[in-house]
């Protein structure tokens, strides 16, 4: 269909902007008093993190549940059409305005220059003072669900909406490693320690720009707390605090900002922290009744959330690509500094069965370096693996074990290339289990605990 645009007068445009702004502020206050509304908006924020707060508020208030928006022309360029009768979503669009200084010393928009002024500008363009300013006008976008695009097209059109990681087992370790790498890049110290006489799961120390996590935390608590404290470190370090208005320096506001950021970032990566986040925020703010500068506080949440999500996505992708590279070959092990580090099996996860052999993922732990992941193909059961490779082995020694590469070389009857086996899809629903768990199962059940998994 053709998108019918009706030109509005300056007064009509102003009234429309004022109306949308008023509606935006009403919704903002609803988020402050209704936890369910706040939750819905924070989920939305995690998906539209590359938009300004004002546009996030506008899109969410006009089209709740939006998946991804674009202009009429953009959808047309992608080969899709907006459905007949669909109403556009208004957003603020930046517009660059060129100005020049008149002979009277006032600034005037170039678009409003008279014929004489334009001629004078052309003749004296090197001496007439000019400048550029950014203003905003209303633009129109549509959600992809308002077009003839099919659901299977959505991920390709809006790839940042994908949720590729399901965090359990080794994926939790990878996510935590990514967060720690981000902290290191930002020169934020992170340590795990006993926090005496306090139920706190962690805290941020502005004086040392460092984070302490409680040694009582489980893996998910540790990750959630780390995101929360990284938000504090980004928003509430001494230099930032010195620039804040008094109302934004109050403890309830600081805790509100950190936990809302943690919720947005965690949700972006598929972690559900709703129960804790909303309860925690209500505890500090009594449903935000003390947050007098709510829009400014949320603006900072949006900014820091967007930066964290963007940075973590890149770091996670690198971790994903290198997931099995840690112990791939001797030179790499040496370069990674893990050749002499001692590792022991922490968990074993069955992946697939090939003939009489099983593919397993091993999570190897060391006291001196980060966990490593090692994919093997063997006829051994998990318990037999533990008995054969019991205790600690150096990274170099692990390379000598029955790796996929060595197996393929010794068994030419397996026609699948090594790369295919290394990236084989998981056939078993069971996740990783501690080696001791398999040993206990075998003892209690008195059965072979391997290929029947």
Predicted confidence (pLDDT) per residue in 46-56, tens digit: 777 778 888 88
418: containing domain: 344-422
Tokens of 317: 């992708």
Question: Do both 242 and 370 map to the same domain?
Answer: no
User: Is residue 119 very low, low, confident or very high in pLDDT (cuts 50, 70, 90)?
Assistant: confident
User: Both 197 and 269 in a single domain?
Assistant: yes
How many angstroms separate the Cα of 25 from the Cα of each of 91, 171, 229, 265, 427?
15, 40, 29, 24, 50
pLDDT single digits (tens) 67-100? 889 899 989 989 999 998 899 999 988 888 888 8
Q: What is the DSSP string of 294-309?
A: HHHHHHHHHHHHHHHH
- Residue 117 maps to a domain: no
Share of the chain above pLDDT 90, in %: 11
242, 167: one domain: yes
Mean pLDDT of 118-130: 78
Buried b (16+ CB within 10 A) or exposed e, 163-175: eebebebbbbbbb
Residue 237 lies in a domain: yes
Which of helix, strand or coil describes residue 124? coil
For residues 191 and 227, membership in a common domain is answered with: yes
Distance CA 228, CA 279 (A): 14
Q: Quick one: 227 and 182 in the same domain?
A: yes
Q: What are residue 133's phi and psi, to 5 degrees?
A: -130, 150
Same domain as 287, residue 178: yes
Whether 56 is in a domain gets the answer no
User: Is residue 382 exposed (0-12), middle (13-18) or buried (19+ Cβ within 10 Å)?
Assistant: buried
Residue 383 has what pLDDT? 79
Domain for residue 355, yes or no?
Answer: yes
Work out the angle between the directed axes of helices 170-185 and 294-321 (0-180°, nearest 10): 120
Q: In what order do the strands lie in the sheet with 107-109?
A: 69-70, 130-143, 89-101, 107-109
Q: What is the Cα–Cα distance from 100 to 355, expressed in whole angstroms? A: 78
Length of the chain: 453
Q: For residue 393, which of 439, 344, 449 has the smallest C-alpha distance?
A: 344
User: Do 185 and 272 lie in a common domain?
Assistant: yes
Same domain, 207 and 298: yes
Q: What percent of the chain has a predicted confidence (pLDDT) above 70?
A: 65
Q: How far apart are alpha carbons 426 and 408 in whole angstroms?
A: 19
The pLDDT of residue 327 is 43
pLDDT at residue 359 tops 50:
yes
Angle at 438 between CA 436 and CA 442, to 5 degrees: 115
Q: How far is CA 399 from CA 325, 332, 373, 396, 442, in A?
A: 12, 11, 12, 5, 28
Among the listed residues 404, 384, 412, 230, the one whose alpha carbon sits nearest the alpha carbon of residue 315: 230
pLDDT at residue 271 tops 50 = yes
Q: Which residues contact 232 (CB under 8 A, 6 or more apart)?
A: 204, 254, 258
**To the nearest whole number, what is the mean pLDDT of the chain?**
74
Residue 133: inside a domain, yes or no?
no
- Examine residue 315 and state whether it is found in any structural domain, yes or no: yes
* Residue 309, domain member (yes or no): yes
CA distance 70 to 68: 7
What is the number of domains present in the chain?
Answer: 2
Chain center to CA of 17 = 32
**CA-closest candidate to residue 143, choices 88, 213, 204:** 88
Examine the domain organization and report whether 185 and 307 are in the same domain. yes
pLDDT at 153 over 90: no
Q: What confidence tens digit (pLDDT) does each residue in 282-330 have?
A: 555 554 454 456 777 888 888 888 889 889 888 877 765 554 444 444 4
Residue 356: CB partners within 8 Å, gap ≥ 6? Answer: 379, 451
Coil vs helix vs strand at 211: strand
Residue 155 domain flag? no
The reported pLDDT for the residue numbered 195 is: 84
Half-sphere exposure of 415 (CA within 13 A, CB side): 0
Is the domain of 371 the same as that of 254? no
CB-count burial class (<10 Å; 0-12, 13-18, 19+) for 224? buried
183: pLDDT strictly greater than 80: yes
Rounded CA-CA distance 50/161 in Å is 12
Q: How far apart are CA 428 and CA 417, in angstroms?
A: 21
* pLDDT above 60: residue 421: no
Beta bridge partners of 373: 363
Which residues lie closer than 8 Å to 397 by C-beta, 6 or more apart? none
pLDDT on residue 381: 82
b/e for 93-125, b at 16 or more Cβ within 10 A? eeeeeebbeeeeeeeeeeeebeeebeebeeeee
What pLDDT digit, counting tens, does each position of 8-38 carry?
666 776 777 777 666 766 666 666 667 677 7
Single out the residue in 280, 299, 329 at which a domain terminates.
Answer: 329
Cβ 149 vs Cβ 71: under 8 Å: no
3-state secondary structure at position 332: helix
Reported confidence tier of residue 190, pLDDT bands at 50, 70, 90: very high
Q: Tell whether pTM > 0.85.
A: no
| SS3 label, residue 326 | coil
User: What is the pLDDT at residue 326?
Assistant: 45
Together in a domain, 273 and 243: yes
CA–CA separation, 291 vs 174, rounded Å?
36
- In whole angstroms, what is the distance from residue 278 CA to residue 256 CA? 10
Question: What does the DSSP 8-state code read for residue 111?
Answer: G
Same domain, 272 and 200: yes
């Amino acid at each position: 269909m053709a998108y019918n645009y009706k030109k509005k007068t300056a007064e009509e445009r102003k009234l429309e902007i004022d109306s949308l702004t008023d509606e935006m502020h009403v919704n903002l206050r609803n988020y402050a008093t209704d936890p369910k509304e706040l939750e819905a908006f924070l989920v939305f924020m995690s998906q539209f993190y590359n938009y300004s707060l004002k546009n996030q508020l506008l899109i969410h208030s006009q089209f709740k549940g939006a998946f991804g928006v674009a202009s009429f022309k953009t959808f047309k360029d992608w080969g899709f059409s907006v459905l007949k009768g669909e109403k556009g979503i208004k957003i603020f669009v930046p517009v660059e305005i060129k100005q020049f200084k008149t002979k009277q010393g006032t600034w005037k928009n170039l678009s409003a220059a008279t014929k004489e002024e334009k001629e004078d500008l052309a003749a004296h363009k090197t001496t007439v003072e000019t400048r550029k300013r950014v203003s905003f006008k209303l633009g129109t976008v549509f959600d992809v669900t308002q077009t003839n695009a099919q659901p299977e097209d959505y991920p390709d059109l809006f790839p940042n909406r994908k949720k590729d990681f399901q965090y359990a087992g080794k994926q939790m370790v990878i996510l935590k490693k990514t967060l720690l790498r981000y902290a290191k890049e930002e020169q934020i110290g992170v340590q795990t320690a006993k926090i005496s006489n306090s139920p706190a799961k962690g805290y941020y120390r502005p004086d040392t720009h460092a984070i302490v996590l409680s040694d009582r935390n489980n893996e998910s608590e540790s990750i959630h707390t780390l995101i929360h404290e990284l938000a504090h470190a980004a928003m509430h370090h001494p230099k930032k605090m010195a620039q804040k208005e008094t109302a934004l320096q109050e403890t309830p506001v600081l805790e509100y900002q950190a936990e809302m950021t943690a919720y947005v970032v965690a949700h972006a990566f598929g972690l559900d922290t709703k129960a804790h986040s909303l309860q925690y925020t209500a505890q500090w703010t009594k449903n935000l009744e003390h947050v007098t500068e709510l829009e400014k506080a949320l603006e900072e949440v949006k900014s820091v959330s967007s930066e964290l999500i963007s940075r973590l996505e890149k770091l996670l992708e690198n971790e994903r690509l290198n997931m099995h590279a840690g112990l791939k070959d001797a030179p790499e092990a040496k370069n990674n500094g893990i050749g002499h580090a001692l590792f022991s099996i922490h968990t074993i996860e069955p992946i697939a069965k090939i003939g009489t052999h099983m593919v397993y993922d091993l999570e190897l732990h060391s006291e001196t370096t980060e966990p490593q992941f090692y994919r093997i193909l063997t006829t051994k059961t998990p318990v037999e693996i533990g008995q054969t490779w019991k205790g600690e082995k150096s990274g170099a020694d692990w390379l000598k074990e029955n790796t996929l590469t060595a197996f393929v070389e010794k068994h030419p009857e397996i026609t699948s290339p090594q790369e295919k086996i290394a990236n084989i899809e998981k056939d078993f629903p069971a996740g990783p289990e501690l080696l001791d768990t398999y040993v206990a199962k075998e003892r209690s059940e008195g059965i072979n605990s391997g290929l029947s998994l």
